[in-house]
Structure 1
């Protein structure tokens, strides 16, 4: 797996685990949601500084973006579409 794809895979995995939309993560990390989407799709060659900010926003270690998935691992899922139910 190429480095950009690996970072994108792990960013999505971490974001979904925290139940954050790309928009919500963007607000916390100070990034545009479309930029986060491009990183997740492996289309952006992001900087270490940006990864540090994303790691802080996700309360994760920087090294979490470089975890190699197990062979045959399913692609990280997505959040349920739509708004959260009012509680």
Structure 2
């Protein structure tokens, strides 16, 4: 799994855990819903600004978000 897929998997995991639809996450993060869908599929190379918007919208801590076995080798 590459880094784009790992990031997208984590976003989807947290989104679903919170019970958010892609549309709702798009609205609260101010990121287009098709862009979020592509992120979750590992198709987008996400900028730091977009990462911040999504992680904050998911009410996640940056350290905890990336301190996950998915991001380790």
Instruction: Flag as ranges the 4+ runs of structure 1 deviating above 3 A.
Output: none
Q: Which runs of 5+ in 2 are unaligned?
A: none
CA contact (8 A) 1:6 1:65 kept: no
TM-score by length of 2: 0.86
Between 7-16 and 54-63, the greater mean CA deviation after superposition: 54-63
Rg larger in structure: 1
Deviation at 1:68, TM superposition (A): 2.6
* Equivalent residue, structure 2, for 1:28: 28
Across the aligned residues of Structure 1 and Structure 2, the Cα RMSD in angstroms comes to 1.3
**Higher-helix-fraction structure:** 2
* Equivalent residue, structure 2, for 1:4: 4
1:23-68: per-residue Cα shift (whole Å, max 9, x none)? 0000000011110000000000001111111111000022415623
Q: Distance in 2 between matches of 1:35 and 1:58?
A: 16
CA contact (8 A) 1:6 1:68 kept: no
Q: Which runs of 5+ in 1 are unaligned?
A: 70-87
Q: How many residues align?
A: 69
3-state SS, counterpart of residue 42 of structure 1 = coil
